[in-house]
A and B are shown apart, each in its own frame.
Chain A
Amino acid sequence: MFHRPLKLAAAIAVSLLALTACAQGSATTTGGNATTAASAAPVTVTYMNFGANGGHEKDLDAISAAFTKAHPNITVKIETVPYADYFTKLQTAVAAGTAADAFELNSENFVSYSSNGALAEIAGAPTASYKPSLLQAFAKDGKQYGLPESFSDVVLFYNADLFKAAGVATPTKDWTWADEQAAAAKLTDKSKKVWGDYQPISFYEFYKALAQTGGQFLSPDGKKVAFNSPEGVKAANWIIGKPGKTMPTQADGVGTPDFDTKLFSDGKLAMWHSGIWMFDGLQKAAFNWDIVVEPGDTTKASAMFANAAVVNAKAKNAEAAQKWVAFLTSSDEMVQTRLASSWELPPIADTAKVSAYLTKGKPTNRQAVFDSLDKTVLPPVIASEQEMQDAVTKELTSAAAGRKTVDQALKDAETAVNALLK
């Protein structure tokens, strides 16, 4: 009985491999035979990532083609996996010793991989090119185990046409929760199935809302939970107070894949808390939309996510893998590709190179992407990261479904997370 999940996982892994093998066929043919006469013997580096999934595959291919042009003897074999399956697949591959030479990690998962000796130290990286704070996020004990590859933040998207029709002033960067709530109430029109607001009920929204109302997720020494506090209750109430009033509920389809994206794209959602990685997919929207820094309560706090490219401790071609990782994270070709396609932002320090981003089209107020960086909050990181996230999301969902009071849900989440911290 216990081998069934293993079998299933194996089946999934095999089918994913089969699928990605097809995709790789086209990706790896670039830059092949033209310059093989050059210096060293040809080398292939494998790279697994989630960031290119869902529309940016061709952009990553372009970066790898540029890399092979600069290093004719190295070919990069790319495997792109959806985020939802990525960390399961990566963990299994690492356990089996079949993980790619280089792969992508987010800051939340970086700790467990670097502290378990799964990553190789990256030497000779162009460290001056990166934003220092991002570089620091992927160092451990003074050694660089990952190079920042991209970062992104979460902003408030709004449908300007819906605001106009309802006669409500559009959001500004000075908005607070109260402003958002008042506008959402006016914009919600259940008879037309138009909703004022959408904010997922999850760990990610909770730690951010907590920071926006001045609370702390963990105690200063990181050994205990600190979110079961008046601020925590306020943050939880802010998030779970929306469904059914200004936000659709699970009975309306929340939880089905891409529900919120579709709702906003269909012009049925006035305000949407989502990430800047959505820009590209919204270019075809048939209404006026823009973004603004997320409203806060007592203070501003925007969610920032940072991803890194790392080298497997057991990489076959560690040297070539390091060259690829450095190119992928710092080259001008990468910067141009990321900006041109409105992908997540390049991690580089040189703001002049990034300024072109501001005028790349919709949304108009791209300055908000950078303004959000003035006050950011990174996800709290513990060794049992996934389990903590699941526990917090589970309790919030229980409270939202009315199966628990908010106080009880926070208390239960506190107990669950404290147990993980022991």
Chain B
Amino acid sequence: MKNRRSQAAWAALFLAPSAIPLALFTLWPMVSSIRISFERWNLISAPVFVGPANYVKLLTSPLTAEVFGHTLAYVLGYLPLVYVGGLALALALNAKLPARAFFRAIYFLPVVTSWVVVALVWKWLLNPSNGIVNALLGAVGLPQPGWWTDPNWAMASVVLASAWKDLGFVMVILLAGLQAIPGDVLEAARIDGASTWRTFRHVTLPMLTPSTFFVVVISLIKGFQGFDQVDVMKGGGRQGSSQVAVEQIYDLTFRYGRAGEAAALSWLLFGVILIITAIQLWGQRKWVHYA
């Protein structure tokens, strides 16, 4: 008994360095935001309790649907791009290439790079007047869009930068999935005379579905939480066309002094992500094959 108690004390001691900051900077703000979501608070004067008014206002405002629409558009652009790109990279780097460890590291580098740095680099690349992308497009006679300064192109710019940054993450997960496919299965397919495409389509892809499922769930959640990239590349963003949910939460709090509504919107976003993830978990039985 005494022994067990001292074990618990030791466990608490070792957990403390991460548990205390987690409680202080994640759990406490989360709990507080529930309270704030029922208040009217402009950050300058004291908060006032208003009941569910913030939720009612958000759910009846057309702007909420608009913001979630933009968020969905972002996710729908981002997800296929990052998955197909990551899969192509994983397949290429799964082959016996010279220096492939080096390339794997290179492609993973953007994942661990700060969003602020990545977004600034992409702003330069996509600079409408003197960026390299438009210079190349111009050289081959293609139209040169206004990218992030043009409200019609701002979302595309953000999607492009986001997919590029997260490519390495998807690549690593899928690469691990590819390496877990037993060599004898692929060999059997080859002996049976299956073409490379058929092997890929009917052996590799199905056996990769657990990794694919993981990537889709994580990327969707990430997509719905997108903020840093939109905020830094906000040229056209602040003017509405690429206003995503978290950006709206930020604006409501720090620009418009409506922290209560912002907290309520956070919880709505949480609900949306929860529902989508639950649907995915339920749906995965139909298409994910665990070997």
Residues on A lying within 8 angstroms of B by beta carbon are: 1-9, 87-88, 91-92, 94-95, 112-113, 116-118, 249-256, 259, 384, 386-387, 390, 393-394, 397-398, 401, 403
Shortest distance from the beta carbon of B224 to any chain A beta carbon, whole Å: 7
Q: Quick one: which of B71-99 are within 8 Å of A by CB?
A: none
Residue of chain A at shortest CB distance from B254: A88
- Residue from the set A1, A7, A94 with the largest chain B CB neighbour count within 10 Å: A1
> Does A116 contact B45, Cβ atoms closer than 8 Å?
yes
With contact pairs A251-B144, A256-B129 given, residues A113 and B152 touching in the complex (Cβ less than 8 Å): no
> Does B239 contact A118, Cβ atoms closer than 8 Å?
no
B270 contacts partner chain A, Cβ-Cβ < 8 Å: yes
> Does A397 contact B256, Cβ atoms closer than 8 Å?
no
> Does A403 contact B256, Cβ atoms closer than 8 Å?
no
Shortest distance from the beta carbon of A251 to any chain B beta carbon, whole Å: 4
Docked CA distance A178–B269 (Å): 50
With contact pairs A1-B224, A94-B44, A398-B240 given, residues A253 and B269 touching in the complex (Cβ less than 8 Å): no
Docked CA distance A167–B170 (Å): 61
B127 contacts partner chain A, Cβ-Cβ < 8 Å: yes
- Which of these, B43, B128, B148, B270, contacts A1 with CB under 8 Å? B270
Shortest distance from the beta carbon of A94 to any chain B beta carbon, whole Å: 5
Tell me how many residue pairs across A and B have CB atoms closer than 8 Å.
124
> Does B253 contact A252, Cβ atoms closer than 8 Å?
no
Residue of chain A at shortest CB distance from B234: A255
Point out the residues of chain B lying under 8 angstroms from A95, CB to CB: 43-44
> Does A3 contact B239, Cβ atoms closer than 8 Å?
no
Point out the residues of chain A lying under 8 angstroms from B255, CB to CB: 87-88, 386-387, 390
Docked CA distance A276–B254 (Å): 29
Docked CA distance A384–B255 (Å): 10
Point out the residues of chain B lying under 8 angstroms from A397, CB to CB: 151, 239-240
Interface of chain A: mostly helix, strand, loop or mixed: helix
Point out the residues of chain A lying under 8 angstroms from B206, CB to CB: none
> Does A256 contact B235, Cβ atoms closer than 8 Å?
yes
Point out the residues of chain B lying under 8 angstroms from A252, CB to CB: 128-129, 146
Q: Quick one: which of B230-263 are within 8 Å of A by CB?
A: 231, 235-236, 238-240, 246, 249-251, 253-257, 262-263
Residue of chain B at shortest CB distance from A396: B239
Point out the residues of chain A lying under 8 angstroms from B148, CB to CB: 255
Q: Which A-B residue pairs are the 9 nearest by beta carbons? A: A2-B266, A253-B129, A255-B149, A95-B43, A251-B146, A250-B146, A116-B44, A5-B250, A116-B45
> Does A2 contact B146, Cβ atoms closer than 8 Å?
no
B33 contacts partner chain A, Cβ-Cβ < 8 Å: yes
> Does B127 contact A256, Cβ atoms closer than 8 Å?
yes
Residue of chain B at shortest CB distance from A252: B129
Residue of chain A at shortest CB distance from B255: A386
> Does B270 contact A253, Cβ atoms closer than 8 Å?
no
> Does A2 contact B151, Cβ atoms closer than 8 Å?
no
> Does B254 contact A249, Cβ atoms closer than 8 Å?
no
| Interface CB pairs A-B, < 8 A, 30 | A1-B266, A2-B249, A2-B270, A4-B225, A5-B227, A5-B254, A6-B29, A8-B228, A87-B255, A88-B255, A91-B254, A112-B44, A113-B44, A116-B44, A249-B146, A253-B128, A253-B149, A254-B149, A255-B148, A256-B128, A259-B129, A384-B257, A386-B256, A387-B256, A390-B251, A390-B255, A393-B239, A397-B239, A401-B150, A401-B152
> Does B254 contact A92, Cβ atoms closer than 8 Å?
yes
Residue of chain B at shortest CB distance from A249: B146
Point out the residues of chain A lying under 8 angstroms from B266, CB to CB: 1-2
- Residue from the set A3, A94, A384 with the largest chain B CB neighbour count within 10 Å: A3
Point out the residues of chain A lying under 8 angstroms from B68, CB to CB: none
> Does B151 contact A9, Cβ atoms closer than 8 Å?
no
